[in-house]
Amino acid sequence: MLCGRRILLIIGGGIAAYKSLELIRAIRAEGGAVTPVLTAGGAAFVTPMSVSALAGAHVHTSLWDLTTEAEIGHIGLARAADLVVVCPATADLLARMAAGLADDLATTLLLATGTPVVAVPAMNVHMWDHPATRANVDTLRARGVTILEPDVGPMACGEHGPGRLPEVPAIMQALRTVLGRGGRLAGLHALVTAGPTHEPIDPVRYLANRSSGRQGFAIAGALATLGARVTLVAGPVALATPAGVCRVDVGTAREMLEAVDQALPADLAVMVAAVADWHVRPSAAKLKKDSGPPTLHLAANPDILAHVAQPGPRRPRLVVGFAAETDNLAAHARAKLARKGCDLIVANDVSGDVMGGSENEVLLVSAEGETALPRGPKAEVAARLVELFAERLGV
Ligand code: C5P
């Protein structure tokens, strides 16, 4: 999935440029974001208006665009992407890339970026077969650029052979593969819950807790960085979705359970959410203060962690729960491990400033024993935790 991924799409000047519009739609349909760049040649085949409308973003065309330069600068544009895609990559664009030219916005970005580059060539069969193009392709591949093989078939110029732009699903698959490449968790699906749940009392009031969702979001991001496909089921929080993460927003515990069920199967589940233990049957009308304090009849919420950890074919290989405790951390965590049926409990002491704060200090409890992790920012704790999860998964 390209969910949450930022793609810088450079559209070169070839007849296949119109297919890049379809690619933009496919990337966005998977939740990816596209920043489009049109070369002068590209703009001769597709209009900036079409590209911008489909991408839902400003289209960049010139190195000398003062507005862009004032806002982020072209180097910033190169950095703010998870992947650069050149589609179509014409013979000329490949030659300029191979030569290291920076004579327009596209080639300047390609020189300035440190992110992986995928080039999708499309050109006349003789141009593709020409020794100059072959040499340029070899040079670029040796530098780590992923260059797709063009399709074989009839071409717009009337010839037949290799040179056609690959079909969009094939391009999409290549983008997914490159984005997840190299990570320990590549090919695995991770399910994460985060944040509080809100249990409505009436249309304006609800029961909730202090969870900010930060630790869960950091874990979701760390899992994506290791190459996992991540589904993050988030309660109501004011946090940006980490790059590469597919987010499903929910309100109540029962909605969270439903979203979790829909996201399964998963290889690993990390239940970080501070799920409300109880809900009330909400009043359809706002409760009036004049009627006196209401009596709330609380009913238990489903235990999502215990549900996911139940033995069976849909059980993830690794199920991790969290325990927010104010005393007897290790003892409570061990009891929870058994009660919930999970493989690991990440216990934290919430008697201080952890809940809603930016730092955390956790104790990892499994059937084999306990490991204390040093206190640190939640992102660091997340990075350490996911490495330990990967170890437990044996990857
Ligand atoms: O039962 P307790 O709330 O102490 O357990 C905490 C762990 O269980 C956390 O991992 C939390 O996400 C999970 N949980 C859950 N559904 C609930 C209550 C807790 O998934 N209803």
Each residue of 101-130: pLDDT tens digit?
Answer: 999 999 999 999 989 999 999 999 999 999
- The answer on pLDDT for 70 being more than 80 is no
Which atom of ligand 1 approaches the CA of 273 most closely? 12
Which atom of ligand 1 approaches the CA of 345 most closely? 10
Those residues whose C-beta lies under 8 Å from the C-beta of residue 117, and which sit 6 or more positions away, are: 83, 84, 85, 86, 110, 144, 145, 146
pLDDT on residue 168: 93
Contact assessment for residue 9 and residue 37, using Cβ atoms and an 8 Å cutoff: yes
Q: Is 6-180 CATH 3.40.50.1950?
A: yes
- Judged by average pLDDT, the poorest of 83-97, 139-153, 164-178 is 164-178
Ligand 1 residue neighbourhood (C-beta within 6 Å): 193, 253, 271-273, 275, 301-305, 321-323, 336
The mean pLDDT of the chain is: 92
Using most ligand atoms within 8 A of CB, pick from 304, 320, 350 the residue to mutate for ligand 1: 304
Which atom of ligand 1 approaches the CA of 325 most closely? 4
- The answer on pLDDT for 24 being more than 90 is yes
Task: Tell me the catalytic residues.
Answer: 157
pLDDT level of residue 227 (50, 70, 90 thresholds): confident
- Judged by average pLDDT, the poorest of 49-63, 160-174, 226-240 is 160-174
Task: Tell me the whole-structure pTM to 2 decimals.
Answer: 0.69
CATH 3.40.50.1950 residue ranges of the chain are 6-180
* Torsion of Cα atoms, 159 then 163 then 164 then 168, to 10°: 180
* Mean pLDDT value of segment 265-273: 98
336: left (phi over 0), alpha (psi -120 to 50) or beta: alpha
* Torsion of Cα atoms, 108 then 109 then 114 then 120, to 10°: -110
pLDDT on residue 182: 65
CATH 3.40.50.10300 residue ranges of the chain are 189-393
**Domain range 189-393, CATH architecture:** 3-Layer(aba) Sandwich (3.40)
For tokens 């704060």, name the residue: 357
Contact assessment for residue 144 and residue 110, using Cβ atoms and an 8 Å cutoff: no
Question: How many residues in total does the chain contain?
Answer: 395
- Judged by average pLDDT, the poorest of 85-94, 194-203, 321-330 is 321-330
- Judged by average pLDDT, the poorest of 70-74, 82-86, 170-174, 285-289 is 70-74
CA of 277 to the centre of ligand 1 (A): 8
* Mean pLDDT value of segment 252-272: 98
pLDDT level of residue 76 (50, 70, 90 thresholds): confident
Using most ligand atoms within 8 A of CB, pick from 303, 345, 355 the residue to mutate for ligand 1: 303
